[in-house]
Amino acid sequence: MRHARLLAAALACIACAAARADTLTVFAAASLKEALDAAARPFEKTSGHRVVASYAGSNVLARQIESGAPAALFISADAAWVDMLESRRRVVPGTRRDLLANDLVLVAPRASASQLRIATGFDLAGALAGGRLALANPDAVPAGKYAKASLVSLGAWDAVRSHLAPAENVRAALALVARGEAPLGIVYRTDALAEPRVKVVATFPEASHPPIVYGMALLAGATADARAFAEYAASPPARAAWARHGFRFP
């Protein structure tokens, strides 16, 4: 009987703890996958809150949030999609901040002998040798928009625009190169670091595209745990995790 009472008390404690442990849903740009997963673990351990991240192109996530998806926090790979959500009153006023920065790189399969110096007028089309250039959708996805802006600035866009392999997000573009389905691709530096099957051929000049800045904002209905995680994401311990995965800071 005594054991039964002890077991019942233990189960009640577990139930109480589970009730206190909130689940926090974060919508985050696909390029944040490994870094955000790593940054969230210490927060989960110390706070008791569970962080569930949904990764996709920032454009896709923003549209889902606009349609009412129950996310508490949004981390976008560019400002435009946060702007859109602010205009729709989906962002909690005063909570937006610039969180991270990144670089744009040209990648090739690890075994490729491709060498190319990126500069005005460089022959990217020739380097493709009849293949296609993998990049995120340049009409909507931040990584693709940055890539197009850089290629236009460098005078290479017109020669390659009919030789593109556009993907739904930057990680999908990275996968095309990693599998050898595209000889070259344009991704973020952090993506290249996360994929051992590719190598960085060259880095695009910062001046050739708008600054790559990740914006973070709390969303309508965000609870105290979401606010706590937003503060943690910009704290020194989290910054160390971001830096280990190749991110810079604005």
Is there a domain that residue 27 lies in? Answer: yes
26 lies in the same domain as 96: yes
pLDDT in tens, 172-199: 999 999 999 999 999 999 999 999 999 9
97 lies in the same domain as 190: no
73: number of Cβ within 10 Å: 24
90 lies in the same domain as 130: no
Give the chain as a 3 state SS string: CHHHHHHHHHHHHHHHHHHHCCEEEEEEEHHHHHHHHHHHHHHHHHHCCEEEEEEECHHHHHHHHHCCCCCCEEEECCHHHHHHHHHCCCECCCCCEEEEECCEEEEEECCCCCCCCCCCCCCHHHHHCCCCEEEECCCCCHHHHHHHHHHHHCCCHHHHCCCEEEECCHHHHHHHHHCCCCCEEEEEHHHHHHCCCEEEEEECCHHHCCCCEEEEEEECCCCHHHHHHHHHHCCHHHHHHHHHCCCECC
Confidence of residue 22 (pLDDT cuts 50, 70, 90): confident
114 lies in the same domain as 175: yes
Is there a domain that residue 185 lies in? Answer: yes
What is the chain's mean pLDDT, rounded? Answer: 90
Contacts of 36 (CB under 8 A, 6+ apart): 26, 28, 53, 55, 75
202 lies in the same domain as 111: yes
- Cβ atoms of 74 and 216 within 8 Å: the answer is yes
Is there a domain that residue 144 lies in? Answer: yes
Q: Is residue 17 predicted with pLDDT exceeding 60?
A: no
Structural domain for 237, as ranges: 22-101+213-244
Is there a domain that residue 226 lies in? Answer: yes
Contacts of 232 (CB under 8 A, 6+ apart): 43, 238
Q: Is residue 8 predicted with pLDDT exceeding 80?
A: no
pLDDT in tens, 211-244: 999 999 999 989 899 999 999 999 999 999 999 9
The total number of structural domains in the chain stands at: 2
108 lies in the same domain as 80: no
Is there a domain that residue 10 lies in? Answer: no
128 lies in the same domain as 62: no
145 lies in the same domain as 171: yes
pLDDT in tens, 137-153: 999 999 999 999 999 99
pLDDT in tens, 61-110: 999 999 999 899 999 999 999 999 999 999 999 999 999 999 999 999 99
pLDDT at 21: 52
160 lies in the same domain as 187: yes
- Cβ atoms of 102 and 31 within 8 Å: the answer is yes
Q: Domain holding 63: CATH number?
A: 3.40.190.10
Is there a domain that residue 11 lies in? Answer: no
Is there a domain that residue 1 lies in? Answer: no
pLDDT at 154: 98
138 lies in the same domain as 193: yes
Q: What is the mean pLDDT of residues 42-62?
A: 93
What is the percent of the chain with per-residue pLDDT over 90, rounded to a whole number? 87
pLDDT at 221: 84
